[in-house]
A and B are shown apart, each in its own frame.
Chain A
Amino acid sequence: MADTPWARRRARAPSRLGAAALVLGFAAIGLAGTVANLAMLLPGGGWWAAIVRPDAGLPDQLLAAYSFAPRLVVSLLAGAALGLAGAILQQVLRNPIASPTTLGIESGANLALSAALIWMPGLLGFGREWVTLTGGLLTIAVVFLLSRRSGFAPLVVILAGMVAGLYCASLAALLALFESHYLAGLFLWGAGSLSLQGWEEPLFLAPRLGLAGLAAILLLRPLALLGMEDAQTRSLGLSVGMVRLAALLVAVALTAFVVASVGCIGFIGLAAPALARIAGARRIGPWMLASAATGAALLWATDQMVQVAAVISAQMIPTGAVTALFGAPLLLWIIPRLRLPPAAAGSLSVQLGQSVGRPGRRLLLLGGLLLLALTLSSLIGPTATGWSLALPGDPSSAWALRLPRALAALAGGTLLAVAGCVLQRLTRNPMASPEVMGVSAGAAGGLTVAIFLIAETSRLEQMLAASLGAFLALIVLLLAARVSKANPERIILAGIAIGALLDALVSVLMASGDPRAILLFNWMTGSTYGVDASTAGASLLAALVLLALLPLVRRWLGMLPLGEDTARALGVPLGAGRLLLLMIAAVATALATLLVGPLSFVGLVAPHAARLLGLRRPLSELYGAALIGAFILVTADFLGRTIAFPWQMPAGLVASMIGAPAFLWLLSRKQDLA
């Protein structure tokens, strides 16, 4: 009766021993690291005395008492808070993907801090915690608002949360991009460094976390009942909405305190509850306790290892980014072992079947719109003296500078939209898209490795590295899908893990202050800057070839969404068809990522928009999405070049400014229809 979500089907008796062993395992690593670090800091021993009564004349003792010890305590506190927050969120939303990270709470808090640092540094005088708390609360409020109509249905909340989180991350990236490269403090905070010089942070965290923990204990019984069907719960006299809201607030507060205190510590809130569940803690009370304990032990162990590594490498390594770096692969390992509920995506399923109205005319109209946007964007633009018309033929005309960028944006939008369409149909998952599934992240990761390992990279090498990365991400996804029989949620979860892995990698690189990281970051925002005519031409050609090939796979795209049995009955070679479609998606994503970066949202939004326009048959949906994707990015490129002239915003980032709200609007509309 008081089970954690989706544990009921397991017949085995719950074994608390497993969870305890898990916690003890991490704690053992933490303890070993602690001993190692203390031995390096105070070789003469007398550790406890040094921490409790440091000799003010001995710097090493002061370091132990005011830096090492509070840092250890904060790692335990923050880990426990995030583990508990994750467990509460997962219980409330009945969703194993729920966590402070995937609901956008961390990103929102971080964005608020960035904005305050740049525009209202005076605000920080009141305390960073209020700024981050406001940011986290605002983000979750938006997520609630968007999912309110669905009665906080799990999938809708996660969708809104992920998109809101990515949106906040994009905005923070934009802010950072306009800041000079002289300051790296913003990135440091985002990467979650645990470096401390006193007991203020533990003293700040402890009472607040204590209060939130108390609230969690009070909510335990109502939360346990939430594990049941809504109707059952209601019949027991519980206001489902109120219980959820209260629990969510506790979880947000836990997260916001941690972000306010030490920054973003990625993935603990996702990994700890999941690990605890796998280890055998299934009744809600023990599970939450185990989640908190696992989180604490996990962060303790990670942070001690980070400190050992920092001594060896003589470089500061941000702990938060490292937890994400290790948390992501850990999650990939967990995914096939997770017990998931049957997909509850009724109102969000991909609508298939007959197109509404006359698809040909709609496609023609979309094509006309795209042509108009392309023409306007290359002909008109601001100059230092005002807007002017630039005509082709004039060699000094800005036309020659604008058209390649617009064409590159067009090609990127087309490719992403096609990739998104294929992935959504293939997985029958409305959340699927190259951005959300980590395929873009894989491409970006491949490029990152190339940039840091090879001194000079040509365009072709970059292309190869990006494709390789995208393929690698897809192979990991395929493996996850194979083990989990292509369960949509699992694929998305694997995608999130890959995306977080890239995020962590870039965070570590950014915090190091390596200027190449800033160039990489610049590229990751999706800029068409400096695209020359030949690159634009080649990209356009690639997009056109892809569009021309699409009719060949029409049959598979039409069949696969109907389900494996139907498809098999109709004689579709399942394995080959799926593999080919995935390869198409990977290549398209790799090409597009090189042009417009990994976070444009176009691959997620364009297919939805096409279906919304009534284009629901495979081919008309694909072509419609391609035209819409191209239109969004051409417009984004134009806006990026003009609205802040002479500053230029990257097209990919501007597209996400358009794409994310558009998607959220779509989301609330769909709830209305349902």
Chain B
Amino acid sequence: MPSRRAVMLGGLSSAALPFPNAWGATARQGAVELRIVSMDFGLAETLIEMGLPPVALPDPASWTQWVVEPALPPGIVNLGTDREPNLEILAALKPDLIVTTPYLDAIAPLLARFAPTKTFSVYAPPVGHAFDRSVVATNQLAAALGREDAGEALIARTQACMDEARRHLAAAGLAGRPVLAVNFLDARHVRVYGAWSLFGDVLERVGLVNGWTQPSNYWGFSTVGIEALAASPASRLVYLEPIAADTLGRLAASPLWRSLPFVKAGRVIRLPAVLMFGMLPSAMRFARQLTLHLAGERNDG
């Protein structure tokens, strides 16, 4: 993967200049690479894993805050917000393909004015398993790019990654343990990831059990007060960065929080950021982080 990225760097550095004339002048060496614009981080990480990184993204600077891995190649053009990508830049980029999600259906006809626009659905009604949908969307994306082999390879890699994590966690004696996966919104509220979420699906695939069984929305999460976690049988809680500075201190002062089984057992585990609304690469990252922090039982809570 790194070698392929290195190969592509030459092409990408010129991609940093979204100036109409620069495009004609830069003759691509080797195979014709598709100039893809991705409106979604989940699709972008999938593209990167398939060796076809996008030339432009909304707010690429926040990638390190939410996605981290796979690393974003340098020189990705910033489109602004995903709800209102900058059309003037989009026009100057002259992309071959725009990939987007149902979340942005409202602007899809607008985007289609600048390049063929394809929508891939993972997080959309009706509720469905994010992992399974990601597999389908990865196949569709690969087919749209004529790179079915890269899609299949990514799916196989993800499956292998899940199996490996399952082995590690089983070896650590954690098979079948209920785990809660949350983001702290503040010291009183969490977003907890349910059965349909990517995290929930990964928990099941690596041989753990999702400790949150309440129904969630089609993004796979529920927003609840922390007291609602008391109903869960989970013996472990993993929370993902980012987390506000005062959250842990305030939690420590709450008797209810301290009485929760996973807090009493000292099994509150901090994980670095993983894209909660991502696709297969995020599933892999989440599985690897789970293995790393749970099997080692590194406790940062």
Interface residues of A (CB under 8 A from B): 56, 59, 62-63, 65-67, 117, 121-125, 127-128, 177-178, 180-185, 188-189, 193, 195-200, 314-316, 381, 383-385, 396, 398, 401-402, 511-515, 518-519, 522, 527, 529-530, 645-648
Q: When the two chains form their complex, are residues A518 and B83 in contact, meaning their CB atoms are under 8 A apart? A: yes
CB neighbors of A among B108-162 (8 A):
110
Give which listed residue, A195, A398, A511, contacts B188 with CB less than 8 A: A195
Contacting pair B19 A383 (CB below 8 A): yes
Tell whether, in the assembled complex, residue A647 and residue B189 are in contact, meaning their CB atoms are under 8 Å apart. Answer: no
Q: Does B78 contact A (CB under 8 A)?
A: yes
Determine the distance from Cα of A184 to Cα of B251 in the docked complex, in whole angstroms: 19
Give, as a whole number of angstroms, the nearest-CB distance from A478 to chain B.
Answer: 34
Q: Which 3 A-B residue pairs are closest in the complex by CB-CB distance? A: A195-B225, A185-B185, A66-B256
B97, CB-defined interface residue at 8 Å: no
Are the C-beta atoms of A200 and B250 separated by less than 8 Å? yes
CB-CB under 8 A from A645, the residues of chain B are 86
Q: Beyond the given A62-B259, A648-B80, please list 14 additional residue pairs across the A-B interface where CB-CB is below 8 A.
A: A127-B246, A128-B246, A181-B82, A184-B191, A195-B189, A196-B188, A197-B226, A198-B257, A316-B189, A383-B89, A511-B223, A512-B217, A519-B83, A530-B107
Set of chain A residues within 8 Å of B272, measured between Cβ atoms: none
Q: Is B66 a contact partner of A200 (Cβ separation < 8 A)?
A: no
> B218: shortest Cβ distance to chain A, in Å?
9
Of the A-B pairs whose beta carbons lie under 8 Å apart in the complex, a sample of 30, sorted by A's number, is: A59-B230, A59-B259, A63-B227, A66-B254, A128-B246, A181-B83, A183-B183, A184-B185, A184-B223, A185-B186, A195-B188, A195-B189, A195-B227, A197-B226, A197-B257, A198-B255, A198-B257, A200-B250, A314-B215, A316-B225, A381-B88, A396-B20, A398-B92, A401-B88, A511-B223, A513-B217, A645-B86, A646-B78, A647-B80, A648-B80
State how many angstroms separate the Cβ of B61 from the closest Cβ of chain A. Answer: 11
A668 to chain B, nearest CB (A): 35
Q: Mark B69-105, 1 if CB is under 8 A from A, else 0.
A: 0000000011111111011110110000000000100
* Interface secondary structure of B, over-half rule: mixed
* Interface membership of chain B positions 202-243, coded 1 if the CB is closer than 8 angstroms to chain A and 0 otherwise: 000000000000110101011111111011000000000000
Which of B66, B81, B191 has its CB near the most chain A CB atoms (within 10 A)?
A: B81
B62 nearest CB neighbor, chain A only: A180
Task: Known A62-B259, A121-B245, A648-B80; judge A197-B227 contact (CB<8 A).
Answer: yes
A513 touches B223 (CB 8 A): yes
Choose from B17, B84, B214 the contact partner of A385 (Cβ within 8 Å). Answer: B17
Determine if B88 and A180 form an interchain contact, defined as CB atoms under 8 angstroms apart. Answer: no
Which residues on the A side are within 8 Å of B254 (C-beta)?
Answer: 66, 197-198, 200
On whether A647 and B227 interact (CB within 8 A), knowing A197-B188, A381-B88, A384-B18, the answer reads no
A67 touching B185, Cβ below 8 Å? no
Task: Name B185's closest neighbour in chain A (CB-CB).
Answer: A185
Q: In whole Å, how far is A558's beta carbon from the nearest beta carbon of chain B?
A: 43
Within 8 Å of chain A (Cβ to Cβ): is B59? yes
Q: Which chain A positions have C-beta within 8 A of B256?
A: 62-63, 66-67, 197-198
With A66-B256, A530-B110 known as contacts, the answer to whether A189 contacts B186 (CB < 8 A) is yes
Across the interface, which residues of A come within 8 angstroms of B88, CB to CB?
381, 383, 398, 401-402, 646
User: Is there a chain A Cβ closer than 8 Å to B253's Cβ?
Assistant: yes
A127 to B259, alpha carbons, bound, how many Å? Answer: 23
Q: How far is the CB of A189 from chain B (nearest CB, A)?
A: 7
Q: Is the CB of B191 within 8 A of A396?
A: no
Asked whether B227 lies within 8 Å of A398 as measured between CB atoms, the reply is no
Distance A518 CA – B91 CA, assembled complex (angstroms): 26
A62: chain B residues at CB < 8 Å are 230, 255-256, 259
Shortest Cβ gap from B111 to chain A (Å): 10
B249 interface contact, C-beta 8 A: yes
Across-interface contacts of A646 in B (CB, < 8 A): 78-80, 86, 88-89
Q: Does B106 have its Cβ within 8 Å of any Cβ on chain A?
A: yes
CB proximity of A410 to chain B, nearest CB, Å:
19
Q: Is B193 an interface residue (CB 8 A)?
A: no
Nearest-CB distance from A235 to chain B (Å)?
A: 51
Q: Which residue of A lies closest to B87 (CB)?
A: A401
A131 to chain B, nearest CB (A): 10
Name which residue of chain A comes closest to B19, CB basis.
A385
The contact of B214 among A128, A182, A314, A383, by CB within 8 Å, is: A314
Q: Give, as a whole number of angstroms, the nearest-CB distance from B130 to chain A.
A: 15
Given contacts A180-B62, A182-B277, contact A198 B223 (CB under 8 A): no
Query: Which residues of the partner chain B approach A185 to less than 8 Å between Cβ atoms?
Result: 185-186, 189, 244
Q: Which residue of chain A has its CB nearest to the CB of B106? A: A519
**Max chain B Cβ within 10 angstroms of own Cβ: one of A383, A511, A645:** A383
Contact of B226 among A195, A200, A515 (CB under 8 A): A195
**A122, A518, A647, most chain B CB atoms within 10 A:** A647
Closest-CB distance, B132 to chain A (whole angstroms): 21
Give Cα A576–Cα B87 distance, bound, in whole angstroms.
47
B287 at the interface (CB under 8 A from A): no
Contact A183 B246 (CB under 8 A): no
Contacts of A67 in B (CB 8 A): 225, 227, 256
Measured CB to CB, the closest approach of chain A to B211, in angstroms, equals 14
| Nearest-CB residue, chain A, relative to B107 | A530
A385 to B228, CA, bound (A): 52
**Quick check: A182 and B223 within 8 Å, CB to CB?**
no
Point out which of A122, A185, A396 has the most chain B C-beta atoms below 10 A from its C-beta.
A185
| Contact with B91, one of A197, A401, A527 (Cβ below 8 angstroms) | A401
> Which residues of A are found within 8 Å of B226, using beta-carbon distances?
195, 197
Cβ of B294 within 8 Å of any chain A Cβ, yes or no, is: no
> Which residues on the A side are within 8 Å of B250 (C-beta)?
200
Query: A180 near B59 (CB under 8 angstroms)?
Result: yes
* A396 / chain B contacts, CB cutoff of 8 Å: 20, 91
Measured between alpha carbons, how far is A117 from B227 in the docked complex, in Å? Answer: 23
- Determine which residue in A117, A645, A646 has the highest number of CB atoms from chain B within 10 A of its CB, and name it: A646
Q: What is the distance, in angstroms, from B227's C-beta to the closest C-beta of chain A?
A: 4
Contacts of A180 in B (CB 8 A): 59, 62, 65-66
Contacts of A66 in B (CB 8 A): 227, 254-256, 259
Contact B81 A648 (CB under 8 A): yes
Partner of B230, one of A63, A193, A512: A63
Query: Hey, which chain B residues are within 8 Å of A122, CB to CB?
Result: 245
Q: Are B244 and A124 in contact (CB under 8 A)?
A: yes
Q: What's the Cα separation between A177 and B81 when bound, in Å? A: 9
Instruction: Pick from A121, A315, A522: contact of B84, CB below 8 A.
Output: A522
| B67 shortest CB reach to chain A, Å | 10
Contact B84 A527 (CB under 8 A): yes
> Cβ of B189 and Cβ of A182 under 8 Å apart?
no
Docked complex Cα distance between A314 and B103 (Å): 24
A124 to chain B, nearest CB (A): 4
Q: CB-CB < 8 A to A184: which residues of B? A: 185, 191, 223
Q: Is B276 an interface residue (CB 8 A)?
A: yes
Chain A residue numbers with a CB within 8 Å of B251 are: 197
Specify which of A121, A123, A518 lies most central, judged by the most chain B CB atoms within 10 Å of its CB: A121
Determine the distance from Cα of A127 to Cα of B250 in the docked complex, in whole angstroms: 9
Q: For the complex, give the distance between the alpha carbons of A519 and B214 in Å.
A: 26
Cβ-closest chain B residue relative to A61: B259
Complex Cα gap A75–B188 (Å) = 16
Residues of B close to A514: CB separation below 8 A: 217
B276 with A182: CB separation less than 8 A: yes
B96: min CB distance to chain A, Å:
16
Are A121 and B244 in contact (CB-based, < 8 A)? yes
